Amino acid sequence: MYLANDKRRGEAFSTLKETIGTRPEQILASKHSALAAIGNAGILPDVSAEKALSIAKIAFEQFDSDLRSVLKKPLSQAKKALKRLPRIGDPGAAKILLLTRSYPVMALDSYGLRVLCRVGFAEERKNYPATYRLVLDAKHAQLPKDYDSLIRAHRLLRQHGQELCKRSKPRCTECPVRDSCNYSQRA
């Protein structure tokens, strides 16, 4: 759901699960209007419906309706396969692999990436994928190797970026890491 908060996304997923189902064939058999109604959790319901249909079609045709087989492939192959899905890049693929406990990899969304750039792990570039790679390379040696710690780090960085380290009007005076944050020191 485009521009929907986590709570609304969760509610939309529950509605999808209860009314249509989550199997690719169930989504493909549903009406566009039913998917768009669920997509009302965000601001572009028709786009959400089209995305759901595209993902279901790829999952049905290319993965035999079972993405679990993709998650069992070697890491580079699993990432490559997941990136065939619409709007899934390296960050989305890493998040899927981490949250399904398929691979203990760091999953950074734009919130977490912004936080780590501001505290000094890398300089933010105009090219998002380049910034993403720089931060992961800088953090790699410091990352825990277990799922629970990585999931917790992902969630905390996301929450910190959503609530305090906002893109515009960051709340640096309330930040618990402001004394060691490059951005806060410059601001």
Query: How does pLDDT run along the chain (187 residues), one tens digit per residue?
Result: 666 778 888 898 999 999 999 999 999 999 999 999 998 877 788 999 999 999 999 999 999 999 999 999 999 999 999 999 998 999 999 999 999 999 999 999 999 999 999 999 888 888 988 999 999 888 877 888 899 999 999 999 999 999 999 999 999 999 999 999 999 888 7
> Where a domain ends, among 66, 81, 97?
66
Q: What does DSSP assign to residue 187?
A: -
CA 123, distance to chain mean position in Å, is: 21
Return phi, psi of residue 18, to 5°.
-80, -35
DSSP-assigned states of every residue in 92-159:
HHHHHHHHTTSS------HHHHHHHHHHTSS---SSHHHHHHHHHHHHGGG---SHHHHHHHHHHHHH
pTM of the predicted model as reported, rounded to 2 decimal places = 0.86
Confirm whether 163 is domain-assigned.
yes
Six token digits for residue 56: 């279901």
Tell whether 137 is covered by a domain: yes
CATH code of 128's domain: 1.10.1670.10
pLDDT digits 0-9 by tens, 80-135:
999 999 989 999 999 999 999 999 999 999 999 999 999 998 888 889 889 999 99
Contact 51, 4 (CB under 8 A): no
Residue 40 within any structural domain of the chain: yes
Specify if 87 maps to a domain. no
Q: Is residue 105 part of a domain?
A: no
10 is in which domain, residue-wise? 6-66
Q: In this structure, is residue 89 part of a structural domain? A: no
Do 176 and 119 fall within a single domain? Answer: yes
* Token reading at 139: 């953090």
| The pair of three-digit structure tokens given for residue 74, joined into one six-digit string | 């070697």
Identify whether 57 is part of a domain. Answer: yes
Q: What angle do CA 116, 122, 165 make, to 5 degrees?
A: 30
Specify whether 170 is located in the same domain as 115.
yes
Count of domains in the chain? 2
Same domain, 60 and 120: no
Whether 116 and 171 share a structural domain: yes
One domain for residues 61 and 115: no
